[in-house]
Amino acid sequence: PTSCFYIRTDSSSINACNKIFSDFIWPAARSQAYDEDTLELCLEESYVNAITHGNQGGCDSLYTTRDLPVPANLAQNKKKPVEVEFIMNEKCYALRVTDTGEGFDKSKVQLGKDGNLMALSGRGLFLIQCYSDCMVFTKQESPQKFSISMVKFK
């Protein structure tokens, strides 16, 4: 069977989104015999990146639990949407997380080459790349959106 989820949220509802992950996505992964830890890491890293970098903040609890400085524009960015699309079947799963940020220059990102592999933050894209079979960045101009997509085969 195929499981599909689409979640459009903002950082003010991060707890509700986490509940959807734990109540639906993790059990679906378990039922298909996928490694939940790998899926959880990729989903959480891409979701946190979308809130923190793409939408420039927007979740005060995210900052306090990770001991990160709270951006000055936090309040105005709390309602910026993050979209999570997830599909899974017996052969693979695909995940796409989209924010309203401008994205980044992919050619300037050197995943895993800047000596921060043991740091508490700054490794998200590197980890997603390591634990997926395919990772793609997509930038859309109007309306402005940026997506990280990944696929993992069994």
Query: How far does Cα 94 stand from its chain's mean position?
Result: 12
Q: pLDDT 10s digit of each residue in the chain, 154 long? A: 788 888 887 666 667 777 778 888 888 888 889 988 898 889 888 988 888 888 876 554 444 444 445 555 555 566 788 888 999 999 999 999 999 888 887 777 766 666 666 665 667 888 899 999 999 999 999 889 999 999 999 9
- Looking up residue 120, the CATH number of its domain turns out to be 3.30.565.10
Residue 62 has a pLDDT of: 46
- Would you call the peptide bond into 143 cis, given omega within 30 degrees of 0 as the criterion? yes
pLDDT of 114 reads 60
Give the domain extent around 18: 3-153
Three-class secondary structure of residue 96 per DSSP: strand
Q: How many domains does the chain have?
A: 1
Res 65: pLDDT: 43
